[in-house]
């Protein structure tokens, strides 16, 4: 017998989207093309997705499982480049579900500057947004 969940993924994403800020894919591309210095693109997909599909040029990679830890200044895993209060952090994943959940988590934490864009990286590519290969890791 299949488990009966109180809330499924569609419910969780819908709840997140009711709270967070979602910008259009076109707006995200515009911010990138105009090289908006106050915008940081954050790719939360699995590293295998980055290697297979590429990523937004100049985006930083923050695996979804580390979002809370890397954004939290109190965490031993905190990354300084993720807490500039003058910047807007534009999170994305493949289809805008994981990024919606991650933005909601950051909102719950009190992080003020996280948004995501509709349609995710798949929509980005379909709209003609620029794509780069994942930078190789330093050894």
Q: Give the model confidence (pLDDT) of 62-88 as tens digits.
A: 999 999 999 999 999 999 999 888 899
The confidence score (pLDDT) of residue 1 equals 82
Average pLDDT rounded to a whole number, residues 107-118: 94
Say whether pLDDT at 139 is over 70: no
- The whole-angstrom separation of Cα 34 and Cα 125 is 17
> What's domain 9-126's superfamily in CATH?
Rhodanese-like domain (3.40.250.10)
Average pLDDT rounded to a whole number, residues 38-49: 96
The confidence score (pLDDT) of residue 112 equals 85
pTM score, two decimals? 0.93
Q: Which of the pair, 138 or 126, is modelled with greater confidence?
A: 126
Average pLDDT rounded to a whole number, residues 40-50: 97
Say whether pLDDT at 49 is over 90: yes
The confidence score (pLDDT) of residue 52 equals 95
Residue 137 — very low, low, confident or very high, per pLDDT cuts 50/70/90?
A: low
The confidence score (pLDDT) of residue 51 equals 94
Q: Which of 27, 51, 14 is nearest to 124 (CA)?
A: 27
The confidence score (pLDDT) of residue 138 equals 61
Half-sphere exposure for 137 (CA within 13 Å, toward CB): 5
Contact by Cβ (8 Å): 75, 69: yes
Helix (H, G, I), strand (E, B) or coil at 101: helix
């Amino acid at each position: 017998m299949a488990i009966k969940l109180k809330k499924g993924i569609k419910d969780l994403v819908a709840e997140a989207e009711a709270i967070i800020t979602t910008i259009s894919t076109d707006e995200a591309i515009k911010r990138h093309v105009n090289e908006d210095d106050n915008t940081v693109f954050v790719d939360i997909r699995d590293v295998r997705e980055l290697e297979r599909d590429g990523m937004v040029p100049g985006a930083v990679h923050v695996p979804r499982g580390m979002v809370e830890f890397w954004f939290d200044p109190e965490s031993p895993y905190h990354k300084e480049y993720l807490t500039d209060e003058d910047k807007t952090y534009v999170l994305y994943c493949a289809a805008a579900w994981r990024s919606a959940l991650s933005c909601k988590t950051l909102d719950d934490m009190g992080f003020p500057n996280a948004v995501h864009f509709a349609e995710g990286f798949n929509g980005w590519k379909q709209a003609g947004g620029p794509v780069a290969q994942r930078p190789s890791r330093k050894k």
